[in-house]
Amino acid sequence: MKVYFKELTLNTSKLYQLIDITYDVENVIKESGIKNGLCLVFAPHATASIIANEHESGLMNDILTKIKEDFPRNGRWLHNRIDDNAAAHLASAMLGSSRIFPVKDGKLIRGTWQNIFLVEMDGPRGYRRIIIEVLGE
C-alpha cells in the first residue's frame, strides 16, 4: 500500500468563513498517483472543521448562520474565562476536524453537491493547516 502525505496552509480573512478546498484535495490525489483507496482531509485545529456540502452562496451563509445560532459567542461558556473562543471550540468538536473520501480510478468520489470546505470559526488566522493523506495503490 502506498501512503502519500501533503500539508497545505492557507490564511482566513473573517471570523467565520467557508473556504472551498475541493480542487486542492483533488490535485493532491492526482499528484499522489494513487488510483484506489482513501483520502483523509484533516484540519489539526480545535477551532476549525472540515465538512462536505454544496458550494452555493446562500447555503454557505446558512451553514455559518446555523453554527453561530447553535454556538453563540456570548454563551455562558466556561472556556471564555481564559479565552474568548469557546463557541469555536464547541462547534469544531461537534462538526469534527476531518472527513474521509473514497478514491476510485484516480478520482475522489463525492456527490455533485459535495464540495470540501475548511470551516473557519475563529478567524482571521494567518496560518491554518490542512493535512491530506491518500492511502491505497
Strand ranges for 11-64 from DSSP E: 17-20, 37-42, 48-53
Closest residue to Zn ion, judged by C-beta, is: 83
Give yes or no for residue 85 binding Zn ion (CB under 5 A): yes
Q: Residue 27: what residue type?
A: N
Least spacing, CB of residue 84 vs Zn ion, in Å: 8
Candidates 83, 102, 104, 106: give the one binding Zn ion (CB under 5 A).
83
Give yes or no for residue 70 binding Zn ion (CB under 5 A): no
**How far apart are alpha carbons 14 and 18 in whole angstroms?**
9
Contact window for Zn ion (CB under 5 A) among 11-19, 30-38, 85-93, 100-108: 85-93
Residues found near Zn ion in the complex (CB under 5 A): 83, 85
